[in-house]
Homo-oligomer: A and B are copies of this chain.
Amino acid sequence: MAEEWTGPGVDLHLELDPSGGRRDALERALRDAVRSGRLGPGAVVPSTRALAAQLGVSRGTVTAAYDQLIAEGYLTARQGAATRVAEIRSTGLPSAEPGKPAPGGPVPRKPVPEKPSPAPPGGPVWAGSWATAGTVAHDLRPGRPDLGTFPASAWLRSTRRVLTTAGPEAHALSDPRGRPELRDALAGYLRRVRGVDADPGRIVITSGYAQGLGLLARVLGDAGTSAVAMEEPGHPYHRMIVARAGLRAAPLPVDGLGARTDLPVDAGAVVLTPAHQYPSGATLAPDRRRAAAAWARDTGGLVVEDDYDGEFRYDRQPVGSLQGTAPGHVVYAGTASKTLAPALRLAWLVLPAALVEPVAEAKRLADAHTPSLGQLVLADLITGHAYDRHVRAARLRYRRRRDELVGALRRWAPHVRVLGVAAGLHALVLLPDGGPGEDEIMARAAARGLALQPLGEFWQRPDGRPQGLVVGYSTPLRSGYHAALDALCSVLRYKA
């Protein structure tokens, strides 16, 4: 379907993809128009009423599409003014003043003396997660999906298909970027589902995001970068990986609008979790998204977009990738660790063209390429749509769990604040002043065999940080979820 669209300031031929819903098609067409430059910075877009009439769709459809593109940073809207294509700006934003908490963000508190945490129950923590639940009765630590729903039958069916149809070359060493079958499948999937500007030639399959981040850090270091800005709070494992590559991890503060990309960034690259900040759960505000892209364009810096749980957004349309707004300056990083299982070690980078060769060479020298069979099976799952079906079913299950967590805490621990639950697989639970702090809650939890992760572990410089817990509500198996919630509510009571 092709539509002529003539609004004030723009004269644009919009190609609406007939597959899928009209709102999706409109969003895609608008994104493409902005990306390609056909809709230039500052251009006024038509009123929702005019465009709806022109395209023969409801006004609500256009409003929803505009809202989505505003959230993604393609468009801007100000009270009483026309909606426009976003300008590229590198200046700070008025939305959050330094030192003042933004709405919904962690509440700065007085410095808390650091004490060693009591040893948490459970097995060894590997890579920010853990191996066995040993003495753990209930596990609400973040970082992994419900492994009881791994689609073993679908995986096995695809494995059979791959092994019976693949020629001998499938078992040979191949392109360090990964199997072309998977890169083709992912390019289509990521364009469709996450608004990524992807083509197979710019994708590198890595053995988990951890490896992808390490390869990028290594390549950046080779090119002279000495520091990478990392969200604070953020994933300590990721900071270790960057440090292992010889780079400094410079803390980038986070508030309720996500990472403070409006502040000056003293680093050659910045790693962000725009869709769902880890661990605060904030969604990066539209102005901050634009500021990050503008910073990269203006300084030649690189943004790494860690989209670790971008498939899981519950209350509205997912926010599209930041990469889609500035594909020449942003690396998009996705993973099957949350959608399928972390033990698969399957992740992908969508790179600016100039980074493809150095990252592929770093990958080749690291381990030649990621194992082929897993890649071919995942490609088969994606092209056969089993992957989409699994993700949709998982989204419904996790949303139900999220609702149950929020409901239980509201009822049994109304003094805590629950943040970051619009998306993803974890919630930030802030502990109020005057009540028990992290150490006390962790000790209570250990006594009940409840594994939790204190917020303090995510800080590089913990002075003045709030006290809280990062609760992974996808971790317990379905059969143990309610008991885990009971245990959580119990240890969060004011008096143990």
A interface residues with partner B (beta carbon < 8 Å)? 124, 126-127, 129-133, 143-144, 147-148, 150, 152, 155-156, 159-160, 163-164, 168-176, 206-208, 210-211, 214, 240-241, 244, 340-346, 364-374, 477
Contact = CB atoms under 8 A, between A and B. Distances in A.
5 contacts: A130-B173, A155-B163, A343-B369, A345-B372, A367-B367
Contact of A171 (B147, B207, B210, B367): B147
A88 to B, nearest CB: 36
A150 B171 contact: yes
B366 A211 contact: yes
B160 A173 contact: no
A147 B173 contact: no
B173 A367 contact: no
Nearest to A179: B343
A459 to B, nearest CB: 20
A367 B240 CA distance: 12
Chain B CB within 10 Å, residue with most, of A175, A343, A370: A343
B371 A344 contact: yes
A153 to B, nearest CB: 8
A241 B173 CA distance: 17
A299 B45 CA distance: 74
Contacts of A241: 365
A147 B166 CA distance: 11
A173 B131 contact: yes
Contacts of A131: 169, 172-175
B208 A368 contact: yes
Contacts of A207: 207, 367-368, 370-371
A130 B168 contact: no
Contacts of A129: 172-173
A343 B371 contact: yes
Contact of A174 (B126, B170, B173, B366): B126
Interface centre among A132, A207, A368, A477 (most CB of B within 10 A): A368
A147 B163 CA distance: 12
Most buried by B among A124, A344, A364, A370: A364
A366 B366 contact: yes
Nearest first, the 6 A-B pairs at minimum CB distance are A171-B341, A147-B168, A343-B372, A211-B367, A127-B368, A207-B367
A173 B364 contact: no
B147 A342 contact: no
Contact of A172 (B144, B159, B364, B365): B144
B341 A369 contact: no
A170 to B, nearest CB: 7
Nearest to A340: B171
B169 A133 contact: yes
Nearest to A169: B132
Contact of A144 (B148, B173, B342, B370): B173
A148 B127 contact: no
Contacts of A477: 168
A420 to B, nearest CB: 22
A207 B477 CA distance: 30
B170 A343 contact: yes
Nearest to A150: B171
Nearest to A341: B171
Nearest to A173: B129
Contacts of A240: 365
Contacts of A367: 206-208, 210-211, 214, 345, 367
A237 to B, nearest CB: 8
Nearest to A127: B368
Given A163-B155, A374-B373, A342 B211 contact: no
A174 B143 CA distance: 13
Contacts of A340: 171
Contacts of A175: 124, 126, 131
B168 A148 contact: yes
B130 A147 contact: no
B152 A172 contact: no
Q: A130, A156, A373: which has the most chain B beta carbons within 10 Å?
A: A373
B342 A370 contact: no
A147 to B, nearest CB: 4
Given A126-B364, A131-B169, A366-B366, 15 more contacts: A126-B173, A126-B174, A126-B368, A126-B369, A127-B176, A127-B369, A147-B171, A150-B168, A171-B343, A173-B343, A208-B367, A210-B368, A344-B373, A345-B369, A345-B370
Contacts of A342: 171-173, 368
Contacts of A210: 365-368
A120 to B, nearest CB: 16
